[in-house]
């Protein structure tokens, strides 16, 4: 077996009750969630018993998803499975910062709470949405996005690109997609993320990181692949801060990230967090990869059994 990568799920994959049984059965996860609850009271209620609309709000979704992402990673590491590289999809990149020791778990949780607030504020200033466009020629899609003043933002895998923008423009864009018989999926998110509409949120996050009072950034102890560049994170603090904050209004180069990880020797990808969206992207991008997901105790035990076979 080659190298193992942990992948961390992004916003849109959340659902009430996610990773609750891991919280109840893995003491290290229970303890970490307790620390997070002390920092942001009410998070566990939103996560385990909240309704879908509450969890959809960015300021709630991001802290809750961060915990769900970290639950899988903590449970795996507690059982002796450590990553050789990490990457997180959008919001998931904050979990990757924690998993690679750039930030402590507590620092990363505080950061994701602030990130969610800043992005919620930007989203409320401009009503927007996001759609995943399927099996459309990339060059043609980019040309059409320019024409309709929307943005191709998430390059997920071959044949899937997410487009983001103002609601009225996204609605007009969906209409033309329908006329051209192009398949698309509306995403359950609350704003035009990864577009210039998020620049104010990126600026606020950058200023907070620059203050250096709450966050002490360290060099990643393993390769941490950035959404913005699809390459490992820079080593200098200023460049790291730019990468973390600019990600909010930059495209997610996920397909390229997975390809680069595979070329570095990663052949086993474990998705941590709710759902199996990232696992699907890996299967469509990296031929022959071993792909697993951890989102509850059953899937955790299954992954541990499969990895033991490969050892």
Beta-bridge partner residues of 294:
272
| Residue 90 appears among annotated catalytic residues | yes
Distance from C-alpha of 14 to C-alpha of 289, rounded to nearest angstrom: 25
| Residue 30 appears among annotated catalytic residues | no
Kindly provide the b/e burial profile for residues 109-138, where b requires at least 16 CB atoms within 10 angstroms of the residue's own CB.
bbbbbbbbbbbbebbeeeebbbbbbeebee
Where residue 120 falls (left for φ over 0; alpha for ψ -120 to 50; beta otherwise) is alpha
Q: Read off φ and ψ for residue 109, nearest 5 degrees.
A: -65, -45
Distance from C-alpha of 87 to C-alpha of 228, rounded to nearest angstrom: 11
Q: How far is CA 55 from the centre of its chain?
A: 15
Distance from C-alpha of 256 to C-alpha of 72, rounded to nearest angstrom: 24
Q: Which of 13, 122, 164, 194 is catalytic?
A: 194
DSSP H stretches of helix in 6-57: 20-25, 27-39, 43-49, 52-56
Distance from C-alpha of 147 to C-alpha of 29, rounded to nearest angstrom: 47
Q: Which long-range contacts (CB under 8 A, 24 or more apart) does 181-186 make?
A: 182/133, 182/134, 182/135, 182/136, 183/133, 183/134, 183/135, 184/131, 184/132, 184/133, 184/134, 185/131, 185/132, 185/134, 186/129, 186/130, 186/131
The residues that are catalytic are 90, 194
């Amino acid at each position: 077996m080659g190298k193992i990568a942990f992948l961390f799920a992004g916003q849109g994959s959340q659902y009430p009750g996610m990773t609750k049984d891991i919280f109840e059965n893995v003491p290290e996860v229970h303890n970490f969630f307790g620390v997070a609850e002390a920092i942001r009271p009410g998070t566990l209620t939103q996560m385990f018993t909240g309704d879908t609309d509450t969890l959809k709000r960015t300021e709630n979704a991001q802290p809750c998803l961060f915990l769900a992402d970290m639950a899988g990673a903590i449970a795996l590491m507690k059982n002796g499975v450590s990553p050789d590289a990490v990457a997180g999809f959008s919001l998931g990149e904050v979990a990757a910062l924690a998993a690679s020791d750039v930030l402590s778990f507590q620092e990363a949780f505080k950061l994701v709470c602030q990130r969610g607030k800043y992005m919620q504020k930007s989203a409320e200033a401009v009503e927007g949405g996001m759609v995943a466009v399927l099996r459309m020629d990339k060059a043609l899609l980019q040309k059409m996005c320019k024409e309709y003043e929307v943005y191709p933002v998430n390059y997920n895998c071959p044949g899937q690109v997410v487009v983001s923008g103002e609601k009225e423009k996204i609605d007009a864009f969906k209409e033309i997609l329908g006329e051209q018989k192009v398949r698309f999926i509306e995403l359950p998110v609350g704003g035009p993320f990864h577009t210039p509409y998020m620049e104010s949120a990126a600026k606020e996050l950058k200023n907070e990181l620059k203050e250096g009072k709450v966050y002490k950034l360290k060099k990643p102890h393993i390769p941490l692949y950035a959404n913005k560049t699809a390459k490992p994170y820079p080593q200098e603090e200023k460049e790291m801060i730019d990468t973390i904050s600019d990600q909010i209004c930059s495209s997610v180069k996920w397909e390229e990230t997975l390809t680069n990880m595979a070329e570095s020797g990663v052949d086993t990808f474990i998705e941590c967090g709710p759902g199996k969206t990232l696992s699907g992207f890996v299967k469509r991008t990296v031929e022959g990869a071993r792909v697993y997901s951890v989102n509850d105790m059953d899937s955790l035990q299954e992954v541990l059994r499969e990895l033991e076979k490969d050892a």
